[in-house]
A and B are shown apart, each in its own frame.
Chain A
Amino acid sequence: MTAVTTDVAGADTRRAGRWVYVSAVGLLCAWVLVPLYFLLINTLSSPETVNSFPKPFIPEFDLGSLTFFANFAGMLTALKNSILVAGLTMIMSIVIGAPAGYALSRFDFRGKELFRLLILLTRAFPLPLLALPLAVMFIQTGLDDTVFGLALVHTTLAIPFAVLITFALFSGIPLELEEAAWTLGCTRLTAFSKVVLPLILPGITASAIFAFVISWNEVFAAAVLTIENRTLTAFLLQNLDTSPLHLKFAGGFILVMPALIFIFAVRKYLFAMWGIASR
């Protein structure tokens, strides 16, 4: 008799526990999504609605704010600059970073620990602050206020991640595969390009996308290093106290959009790369 009642009570608490668990997961999802939904409402409303009160809780699908954004002087150039800088950062950080990731995963060499320390040090460092002295250095070399100059700084931000991620990726591919290719007559280079590269390409793409997002989102260095050729983040920041609300929200929405897509694209690699990177 007692056994039966405890069993029922046990099932009850288990069901209650399950209910608490599921609703907590739901609540935390809402915590992330609801603010994004609010931004979406504001973006898809006419400028009048954005400044009106009280606010509707469903979007009216008016493109007024977005059109205003697109027609605002300098905004599209800023958007173009952002894409250019992020694209350059993406290419440079992979081209420069990936070989080092390969070296770390395949070779034991003197100074390896020192090199890893340098990489980790960069990551544990408020890097955007270095934009201040670089501003002077860039003026001397003519790189000031250029897309390329800013991309160099963003590459510095992205490189530690590129090295650590590619290190994790290459470590995931057994050396035996490469050795097999060598015994079948491949050189180191052809073995790499025919065996390792095809396997690694999706992961490389993921880490390239990660570099893109780092650059796309960076505010401080972008604001310090550009004057005429502002990126979108720098442009929005500079105009924060003067621009109308609907412009801010449309700008914010444009900033968020790529993030949504990119995180979706790299979600499989996100955890693998941090697993190794935190060793």
Chain B
Amino acid sequence: MNARLLPYVLILPVTLFLCLFFLYPFLLVSKQAFSTGAGFTLDNFREVTSYWKFPITMRNTLLLAAAVVPIQLALALLMATMVNRMKKGRDLVLYVWTIPLGISDLAAGIIWLAIFEQSGFLSSMMSGLGLVDKPVNLLTFQNPGIVFLAIMLAEIWRATAIMLVILVAGIGLIPKEYYEAAEVFGASHWKRFLRITLPLLRPSLQTALVLRVILAFEIFAVVAALSGTLFPVLMGETYAYQFDLLNSGAAAAMALIILAISIAFTLIILRVLRVPKGATI
């Protein structure tokens, strides 16, 4: 076959597939969001944003992302640097730490439900320590703090692994010579981390943060499993509009709002962590 045409033939299936199932539905959802039957309108957005629950949902989603992502980033960086120095048992430790990567948000929610539910392991432990004498229901509307904490822990437990994998791969790409040179000049572990690892890790940090932040705005099943409707989030409301209220125009508007914050934060992260032109490892 003609060598000039071959690459285009090879990428054709993916391109067609993505046009049909990615670009086209994207256009559809935009059209649905901006129309209520006759012409262009912002009614769907007005309806969605003026609903009393909307500020709460928005606040919850952003608050959760703001609470979870920095902890995950710090934890993933810590784990990645720990693994990097490891000689014995590296593979085993990495396997254990990446297990949550394969676990769905729904399953993670159920796992943490086993700990936080009324007769769960947390209240069993508390009764074992003599703190309580009967099962206590922790996940109720009287304890919004505990509900938030449970969701936070489940998210940190589940989704730190994806950042860890990206950062471990990124650290693996940094040439060892830099560290050796720094050691010769007497730089401490901490100095080496600050002056070599962090700056050279910037592309991986970018990827990890973008992926993680987008997924944080999509949080849905963990919340559904742990708190039902106690802690409304954007994705959960979208689902409710589509199914409980059968209002697909409003659901589409919600989808576009989630998309808009995702893109906004992606751009911010890319800007803040931009790699200077021409600076590669």
Point out residues on A near B: beta carbons under 8 Å. Answer: 21, 24-25, 28-29, 31-33, 35-36, 38-39, 42, 51-55, 57, 95-97, 99-100, 102-104, 106-107, 109, 112, 115, 118-119, 122-130, 132-137, 152-153, 155-156, 159, 163, 188, 213, 216-220, 223-224, 233, 236-237, 240-241, 245, 248-249, 251-252, 255-256, 258-260, 262-264, 267, 270-275, 277-279
Contact = CB atoms under 8 A, between A and B. Distances in A.
Given A52-B119, A155-B17, A259-B101, 20 more contacts: A24-B82, A28-B97, A32-B96, A33-B96, A35-B115, A53-B118, A54-B124, A104-B11, A112-B7, A130-B25, A132-B252, A217-B102, A217-B104, A237-B221, A240-B224, A248-B225, A249-B114, A259-B99, A267-B91, A274-B165
Contacts of B211: 123-124
A109 B252 CA distance: 37
Interface in B177-218: 203-204, 206-208, 210-211, 214, 217-218
Query: Which of A28, A42, A252: most chain B Cβ within 10 A?
Result: A252
Interface of B: 1, 4, 6-8, 10-11, 13-15, 17-18, 21-22, 24-26, 28-29, 32, 79, 82, 85-86, 91, 93-107, 110-115, 117-121, 123-124, 127-128, 134-135, 157, 165-166, 168-170, 172-173, 203-204, 206-208, 210-211, 214, 217-218, 220-221, 224-225, 228, 235, 238-239, 242-243, 248, 251-252, 255, 258-259, 262, 266
Shortest 8 CB-CB contacts between residues of A and residues of B: A259-B102, A217-B104, A252-B110, A133-B28, A275-B169, A103-B10, A54-B124, A107-B7
Interface of A: prevailing SS: helix
A126 B10 contact: no
A271 B170 CA distance: 9
